[in-house]
Amino acid sequence: MDCRVAIAQTNPRLGDLQANLADHLDRIERALHEGADLVVFPELSLTGYFLKDQVLEVALSLDAAPMARLVEASKRVSLAVGFVERASSGRIYNSLAFLEDGRVLGVHRKVHLVSYGIFDESRDFAAGERFEIIESRLGRFGPLICEDVWHAPSAYVHFLNDADALIVASASPARGVEAPGPGLASQRTWDVLLTSTALLYRTWVVYSARVGWEDGVGFGGSSTVLDARGNRVARLEGLETGMLTARLDGADLKRARFETPLRRDEKPWVLASELARILPDLRVLFDGAPDREESLRR
């Protein structure tokens, strides 16, 4: 794997699919100019974040017209786009679509919805239940959405699945202005979290964050690319929209993983047996329980 990634740090207009789609297409053109192979957009980039009752109005099935436009654009460059997904079951998810070569390569549905503090996602969205790898022609990508990263097993699953890079789409509210800083406390926390994730899983991290304000809540931006040693390769500072490009260097990834072969030495079977020991009820799930959801809730 070796490719040039572009992060589009956007400021979506809340609930305005047409305006946001036009903005996506415009930024895709600009990314192509900069030689990008992949353009990553933030969480819910097509719709904005605090949608509340608007989720119903902006939910899209994968064959809806705005998605079709982006699928078409993916013939020229691979895309990761945040949107509100209306599944065939009728459920609505906070999703990230990965588009390539004129088709939908995969969709990650946010597993860890946030419902505390200023967040109320569980009210508006169904939760995903999988961390599936995207097998792109550019490499193996592990998509995650914002809060997913805060739960260590999310990235761990992608790590076990030999992801080359984690694609983290986010809409993180800016908060914490206390001295001495420097900068936003929320951003310092993200930096530690993403750096640790890169280090623990020896993987690139492509963090695409949004900016702008929705009813007095500002989003922190600071889109970042980290290499597999946890070094910051590229960063967009400040509260403005913009474009960030970085090369994901395949030879360097191999070297980093040779130097510190964490995946080789990982013992997932220890985790499996420990899980079975600590949470014996979990076994029910894998033994083909008739009502999977019921056992999950329990």
Partner 1 sequence: MTLDVQPELVTQLLVSFLREETEAAGMRRAVVGLSGGIDSAVVAALCARALGAENVLCALLPYRTSNPRSAADAERLGESLGVPLRRIDISPIADGYLEGSRVTDPLRRGNVLARCRMIVLYDLSVEWKGLVIGTSNKTELLLGYSTQWGDSAHALNPLGDLYKCQVYQLARHLDLPRRIIDKPPSADLYEGQTDEGELGFTYDEADRLLVLMIDKRYSLEELLAAGFSNELVRRIAGRVVRNQFKRMPPVIAKLSRRTVGHDFRYLRDWMR
Amino acid 111 reads V
**Judged by CB under 8 A, does residue 214 bind partner 1?**
yes
Contact positions with partner 1 (CB under 8 A) in 53-82: 53-54
Shortest spacing between CB 214 and partner 1, in angstroms:
5
Stretch that binds partner 1, among 24-32, 71-79, 104-112, 214-222 (CB under 8 A): 214-222
Shortest spacing between CB 124 and partner 1, in angstroms:
9
**Token pair 């908060």: residue:** 175
For strands 139-145 and 134-136, give the pairing: antiparallel
**Judged by CB under 8 A, does residue 266 bind partner 1?**
no
**Which strand (E) or helix (H) includes residue 232?**
strand 232-235
| Alpha carbon distance 200, 230 (integer Å) | 9
| Alpha carbon distance 203, 289 (integer Å) | 35
Closest CA to 96 of 26, 154, 36, 31: 154
Shortest spacing between CB 255 and partner 1, in angstroms:
38
Over the Cα atoms of the chain, what is R_g? 19
Shortest spacing between CB 76 and partner 1, in angstroms:
30
Among 90, 117, 216, 290, binds partner 1 (CB under 8 A): 216
Among 63, 178, 265, 291, binds partner 1 (CB under 8 A): 178
**Judged by CB under 8 A, does residue 181 bind partner 1?**
yes
Nearest to partner 1 of 24, 202 (CB atom):
24
**Token pair 């860890």: residue:** 112
Contact positions with partner 1 (CB under 8 A) in 224-263: 239
Among 179, 251, 270, 278, binds partner 1 (CB under 8 A): 179
Kindly state the DSSP code that residue 127 receives in the 8-state scheme. P
| Alpha carbon distance 217, 215 (integer Å) | 6
For strands 204-209 and 224-226, give the pairing: antiparallel
**Judged by CB under 8 A, does residue 218 bind partner 1?**
yes
Nearest to partner 1 of 154, 186 (CB atom):
186
**Token pair 């040039």: residue:** 4
Count the alpha carbons within 13 Å of 277 in the hemisphere toward its beta carbon.
Answer: 6
**Which strand (E) or helix (H) includes residue 182?**
none
Stretch that binds partner 1, among 67-75, 160-168, 174-182, 270-278 (CB under 8 A): 174-182
Count the alpha carbons within 13 Å of 217 in the hemisphere toward its beta carbon.
Answer: 14
**Judged by CB under 8 A, does residue 12 bind partner 1?**
no
Shortest spacing between CB 210 and partner 1, in angstroms:
13
**Judged by CB under 8 A, does residue 189 bind partner 1?**
no
Binding letters toward partner 1, positions 102-121, x by CB under 8 A: --------------------
**Judged by CB under 8 A, does residue 280 bind partner 1?**
no
Stretch that binds partner 1, among 14-22, 74-82, 277-285, 290-298 (CB under 8 A): 14-22
Q: Is 159 left (phi over 0), alpha (psi -120 to 50) or beta?
A: alpha
Binding footprint of partner 1 on the chain (CB under 8 A):
13-16, 50, 52-54, 174, 177-184, 212-216, 218, 239
